Structure 1
Amino acid sequence: MNPSFERLMAEASRLTQTGDLRAATAAIHAALGGAAVPAPAAPQKNESCVIDVEAREIKTNVDAPPRPPPPPRTEAPAGQFSAGSHTDSAGTRGYKLFVPPGYTGQALPLVVMLHGCTQNPDDFAAGTGMNEAARERGVFVLYPAQAQTHNASRCWNWFKHNHQRRGRGEPAILAGMTRAVMKRYDIDPERVYVAGLSAGGAMAAILGDAYPELFAAVGVHSGLPTGSATDVKSAFAAMQGAAAVAVAATRPRPPTIVFHGDRDTTVVPLNGERVVAGNADAAAPEVERARSANGHDYTRSVYRDEAGRVRAEHWLVHGAGHAWSGGSARGSYTDANGPDATEAMLAFFLVNALRGAPATGAS
């Protein structure tokens, strides 16, 4: 080894121990570049000669009073759309959260939006326009994100038996994530809702059945009812209209709004009818046939209970396929020609509240 190099590095070590970091740095540069070692520099005002080696932190201005602790971490300032992550005993999933402008700590509603296969929160938010609609009404929007490590196509695993019940798998993760956001932002606990598209719609139905004390209403767009399948093979069969697998559901279910295109060949319209059947019982619906301002005709069926409360709405969009009705081309799986599913779902949600319904069963 070069003796000059050894001498310079030894000098750098000595200077470090005395606290003269500027001179030590110069010595290291000299060792590497062959320059002479400059004279040690005098310590500057307020520069301490103490080095916290373990933490790799140079302490300065040691006589100054300690700094106050940082303010509590906030996931997203009001009016912003920010990323986060939730972990509990059931697993970990990321998310994005829209915080409406004007939020200062008051209790506001929350809509949980579950994307479809191959989508992500940004894509789903852009296609549905839910953030823009929520901004006008002062509503939080939570977009959980499925990871490819949990499903290669980023589908929610609605078709697997261990992801269909309370306290297990993805329903437990999503319910836990929802509760964590509610706690952080003091969300109104009586006005929390869940909606989804396709696989997200199927998972929204599961969450409504599994956690009726958490979700005041449910939106299912191009999805399937709880228990439609137990594996991949039965999932494809169910999507094409095969008879659903019988799975006991909590009663009463939350009020539910369903959107489905009558030309959907990915998840056939019969599945939307089956979702509604879980809430409609034997009641005869009020039926309205109209044309969307955007182009598609639609049939809207409203089901009420004996007290006159709306238990379900079924919007069958004529001429529409497997796409979010009235959505924007900025996102995938959208059909701008249909009635606005985002506006209809928000209107449906905001007239429903839990009104202190008690929790049931395990978390």
Structure 2
Amino acid sequence: MNRSHGVVARIGALLFALFMLSAAPAHAGSWVHGSYTNLWGSRGFQLWVPSGYQPGQALPLVVGLHGCLQNPDQFAGLTRLNQKADAEKFLVLYPNQATTSNATQCWNFMLATNQERGLGEPSIIVGMVNLVKSHYAVDSRRVYVGGVSAGAVMTSILLACYSDVFTAGMVGAGAMYKAATTASGSAYAMSFGSIYDPDDRGRDAWACSGKPRRSVPVLVVHGTDDSVVNPINGEQTVRQFLQTNDYGDDGVDNDSVPYAATHVWSGAVPGGRAYTVKDYVYGGRLLVQQYELHGMDHAWPGGDDSYLFADPSGPDGTSIMWDFFKQHSR
């Protein structure tokens, strides 16, 4: 296929995706299926339109990123995110990783083309966000992203490189921005933690969005007994985003956002897991919050145990995520 035919095919695919989205009925409490294509590829997605949705009434948008061996239906079922969306009135966009791009449906967070602004899978996900905005009433001040495992690492990339798009995010059982830059490095980071300095990656993350003076609020949730992604990755993610916010405050690495929790507290689910929470507040805003789930393996806390990666004995991770998100508006 020559270049002109390739461009025509891509445009045709995009127009077809637009037709699918615009033609789909926007019934309350319903799924809308579509796809998005740009120069970096094509991915399908599912959009949950909550019950009570009224065209023209701008709602928050949450982007939910599934982990490996998952798809949008499974991630929605695991997290019960659609039920939360119905109760709180927000839209949920679920991008779907193609098996042709990764046989286990992991997001390819370790590839260099997926770690920079305007490239790769992150650009496709942001394209989906813009596509949804063009067909539904979305409050651009309240666009959030959260994921688990590989979806959580992709969340770190999106928060780093598109801080002008995403107001806040959740990294669940994931890792920091550019924790690994190769497949072998990814395996090492998941087992032992990243070899890279979180402070250096904090500056890289700040630079990826074009060095904006903008805060990047993030919720980090990780089990202390995670056998897939070493819990040190959660610590590194906290450190990286504190450093990113230090630069985002005034453009200088001067510890204006200190690496010291302003409040530490504990809780427990009756008959279930205990957890420790560390809050990092700066300028009256909760910029970083860390949940350490004692004894939890690689899982979504409080998830539906009929799905993979659920830990029903933990606190409700979806409620924790939404409670964090709704504190933040651009």
Q: TM-score, normalised by structure 1?
A: 0.75
Name the CA distance, whole Å, in 2 between partners of 1:310 and 1:345: 13
Assess if the C-alpha contact under 8 Å between 1:128 and 1:327 holds in 2.
Answer: yes
One-letter code aligned to 2:270? A
Name the CA distance, whole Å, in 2 between partners of 1:180 and 1:193: 15
Q: CA deviation at 1:218?
A: 0.6
One-letter code aligned to 1:210? C
Assess if the C-alpha contact under 8 Å between 1:258 and 1:314 holds in 2.
Answer: yes
Partner of 1:249: 205
Q: CA deviation at 1:336?
A: 0.3
Structure 2: which 5+ residue stretches go unaligned? Answer: 1-21, 207-211, 243-256
Partner of 1:221: 172
Q: For 1:1-363, what aligned pairs fall within 5 Å after superposition?
A: 73-74=23-24, 76-105=26-55, 106-245=57-196, 246-247=200-201, 248-250=204-206, 252-280=214-242, 281-285=257-261, 286-293=263-270, 295-305=272-282, 307-354=283-330
Assess if the C-alpha contact under 8 Å between 2:28 and 2:52 holds in 1.
Answer: yes
Taking a change above 3 Å as real, the CA distance of residues 334 and 104 of structure 1, as seen in their structure-2 partners, is same
Assess if the C-alpha contact under 8 Å between 1:128 and 1:328 holds in 2.
Answer: yes
Q: Once structures 1 and 2 are overlaid, which stretch shifts more, 287-296 or 144-153? A: 287-296
Name the CA distance, whole Å, in 1 between partners of 2:59 and 2:166: 14
Q: CA deviation at 1:217?
A: 0.3
One-letter code aligned to 2:205? A
Q: CA deviation at 1:294?
A: 5.4
Partner of 1:34: none
Name the CA distance, whole Å, in 1 between partners of 2:271 and 2:25: 37
Q: Report the secondary structure of 2:78's partner residue.
A: helix
Name the CA distance, whole Å, in 2 between partners of 1:316 and 1:339: 11
Assess if the C-alpha contact under 8 Å between 2:159 and 2:169 holds in 1.
Answer: yes
Structure 1: which 5+ residue stretches go unaligned? Answer: 1-71, 355-363
Q: CA deviation at 1:343?
A: 0.1
One-letter code aligned to 1:259? V
Higher strand share: 2
Q: CA deviation at 1:82?
A: 2.9
Q: Report the secondary structure of 1:189's partner residue.
A: strand
Assess if the C-alpha contact under 8 Å between 2:193 and 2:233 holds in 1.
Answer: no
Assess if the C-alpha contact under 8 Å between 2:61 and 2:92 holds in 1.
Answer: yes
Q: How many residues align?
A: 283
Q: CA deviation at 1:233?
A: 0.4
Assess if the C-alpha contact under 8 Å between 2:52 and 2:86 holds in 1.
Answer: no
- Based on CA coordinates, which of the two structures has the bigger radius of gyration? 1
Name the CA distance, whole Å, in 1 between partners of 2:307 and 2:105: 16
Give me the identity figure in percent: 40
Q: CA deviation at 1:283?
A: 4.1
Name the CA distance, whole Å, in 1 between partners of 2:175 and 2:147: 11
Assess if the C-alpha contact under 8 Å between 1:124 and 1:332 holds in 2.
Answer: no
Partner of 2:8: none
User: Where has structure 1 moved over 6 Å in runs of 4 or more?
Assistant: none
Higher helix share: 2
